[in-house]
Homo-oligomer: A and B are copies of this chain.
Amino acid sequence: MQWLDHSIMRTRGVAQGRTPDTHLLTEARQGKYHYTIGPYSDPVLSIRPGDRVVVETRDAFEGKVKTEADLPSRVLNMPFVNPQNGPIMVEGAEKGDVVAVYIESMAPRGPNPRGTCAMIPQFGAMSGTSMTALLADSLPEIVRKIDLDEKGVYWSKRVTLPYCPHIGTLSCSPEIDSINTLPPDSHGGNMDLPDMGPGSITYLPVRTAGARLFIGDAHACQGDGEVCGTAVEYASTTTIHVDLIKGWQLEWPRLENESLIMAIGSARPLEDATRIAYKELILWMEAEYGYDRWDAYMMLSQCGKVRLGNFVDPKYTVGAGISKNYLK
């Protein structure tokens, strides 16, 4: 793909020109999956910038919701959900650098692949939750198992949804915190952003030596906001390319694809997530695309694009983007 050759990853990454090695991070090799993202776990893999990793992710329920009778409140053991592959050590990565993750492909894993969507008690945007605490009864607990392949997500007899895979959780380690895999934050984490699929590059701030990359939580598709609390969660084979950009100080994750650049913020309330995303985008346009700060601010008021990732996780995630047409 031609745009890729002009991407930030390719033009600023340290891997330039080298032939990548491919690593297989199978379930077996991963062994123990992780429920926190932090500096205290043992690496499973060490790679060089430019390398390709084929990752076998588990679904956010760890595969425990096998049938529509397996209610999450019975089969899950909080906070042991949303298991992550990693940490993958990236050679040469230091605090103040950025790890770039290009997603080459995401395929359903296993025979007769099925995804899982669930309404979980005290979870989801239209229910009281542990954070928006109410005295109202929970909504009913419902599980849906959905057949899927690379052509479609077979939601119901009436509706087939397009297969639009993306990674829900992606991050390098925070500097000193070890954070469970439910909240997104400035390190990345559980952003649940539909743009983070094949053909995208995510830029993640490095905060510890080796970066310690974590990845998991594949979605076969997801609507804006992930309103009921879950996407079509599935086990995937996700193939990524990882590169390293030295000395790029980011406060928050960023993303690039063929048509846009996007800054990503996670916070509550939702306007604060949006503010972070837009502020980071404005500062990016100022620092790297020759825009005056106020010109960028006023122009985004005319052409900025907002994607609501989720408004159900412990922090909500928003991406603010601008078409590459305006960056030339």
Contact = CB atoms under 8 A, between A and B. Distances in A.
Contacts of A10: none
A223 B278 CA distance: 11
A128 B295 CA distance: 19
B156 A301 contact: no
Interface string A84-128: 000000000000000000000000000000000101000011111
A155 B304 CA distance: 14
Contact of A298 (B119, B178, B275, B311): B119
Interface string A239-261: 00000000000010000000000
Contacts of A311: 271, 274
- Of A135, A179, A297, A311, most buried by chain B (CB within 10 Å of CB) is A135
Nearest to A79: B176
A269 B270 contact: yes
Contact of A180 (B176, B226, B303, B308): B176
A139 interface: yes
A326 B152 CA distance: 14
A255 to B, nearest CB: 16
B136 A227 contact: no
Interface string A282-308: 100000000001110111111111101
Nearest to A251: B130
A186 B82 CA distance: 20
A36 interface: yes
A297 B227 contact: yes
7 contacts: A80-B176, A125-B275, A144-B298, A224-B305, A224-B306, A227-B278, A228-B300
